[in-house]
Amino acid sequence: MQAIGFNGVEFIEFEKETAPPKGRDLIVEIQAISINPIDTKVKQTVTKDSPLKILGYDAAGVVISVGDQTSLFKVGDEVFYAGDMTRDGSNATHQLVDERLVGRKPSSLSYGQAAALPLTSITAWESLFDRLKITKTDHDKTLLLIGAAGGVGSMAIQFAKQVVGIKVIATASRAESSDWCKQMGADIVIDHHDLIEQFKDSHLDAPDFILCMGDPDEYFETMAELIAVQGSICLLANAGKDYNINLLKAKSITLVWEMMFTRSMFTTKDLVKQHELLNEVADLVDSGKVVTTVTRQLNPINLENIVKAHTMIETGVMIGKLVITH
């Protein structure tokens, strides 16, 4: 296969043999990929002494070979997935991936439109339904999404509204970000800053659930004050400093983290749940309830465009998702 790897200094093109699939692995011929903030973060961990790293944690393509224990897919199936951080990524012509991490590509979407969805869909879905444990009985409650205009927030808004029907308050910092959140279905959009004052001034209900996609160091004390009694908070980003978690005690608050690679990193017994949720996402898309979040598209998948995509992501102001297609 042809691949694009990072050597600690720069991206380079190189050839690598594709091993035959074993067990539950598939070989996917990649048609489109998406670049996420996690790509840029993993890139920062690669040094000149590290092995060459193939990044890429979103892909859509066609199954061209299957392992001897596969049962979910066959050759010719169109698929989408986010993959496994411990293995080679999708910045390549072909990729080995465990079928339990793979979903059927929504039939109503192009490969590029589908490639925008896996990582952000899995992260949003697991955050809302596995970590915060929101259920359909919570439709009369309130969810606060901090930093909602990005890829994960875009999907979290849609899942919260289309699966549960819960009230969604989203935060955004710019007019175009606010408009995007409303387009995704947010009931109320407020500014990132001075959240406590805005909740008071607008007489907003205390959120029962908070999903923070921003820097938890910036928002922890604010979330502790805002959250409803016996509410739940989910964080995505690493903590950069120690928190006074005693702030959560009086209200009996639940604090959880979400990392969508947990299941694949530890080969959990419920690994297949990522396959199942991606298929549910595909059903929601094909039924018209959920839309893709592509806002930028480059073509083709090559060294120049991967470098360009990383530069764009690293600005930190992306709305929606950036994809690269063949």
Spell out the domain ranges in the chain: 2-117+268-325, 120-257
When pLDDT is averaged across residues 266-293 and rounded to a whole number, the result is: 97
Question: Given a cut of 80, is residue 192 above it in pLDDT?
Answer: yes
pLDDT, residue 322, reads: 94
Q: Is 293 helix (H, G, I), strand (E, B) or coil?
A: coil
Phi, psi for residue 33 in degrees, rounded to 5: -135, 165
Q: What is the pTM of this model?
A: 0.96
Confidence of residue 38 (pLDDT cuts 50, 70, 90): very high
Phi, psi (degrees; rounded to nearest 5) at 168: -115, 120
Which class would CATH give 2-117+268-325? alpha beta
Report the alpha-carbon distance of residue 217 to residue 131 in Å, rounded: 20
Confidence of residue 82 (pLDDT cuts 50, 70, 90): very high
Q: What percent of the chain has pLDDT over 70?
A: 100
Residue with tokens 């042809």: 2
pLDDT in tens, 236-268: 998 887 889 999 999 999 999 999 999 999 999
pLDDT surpassing 80 at residue 219: yes
- Which tens digit of pLDDT belongs to each residue from 164-179? 999 999 999 899 999 9
Res. 318: pLDDT tops 90: no
CATH architecture of the domain formed by 120-257? 3-Layer(aba) Sandwich (3.40)
Backbone phi and psi for residue 107, each to the nearest 5 degrees, phi listed first:
-70, -20
Residue entry with tokens 């996690």: 38
Tell me what pLDDT residue 24 has.
Answer: 97
pLDDT band at 319 (very low <50, low <70, confident <90, very high): confident
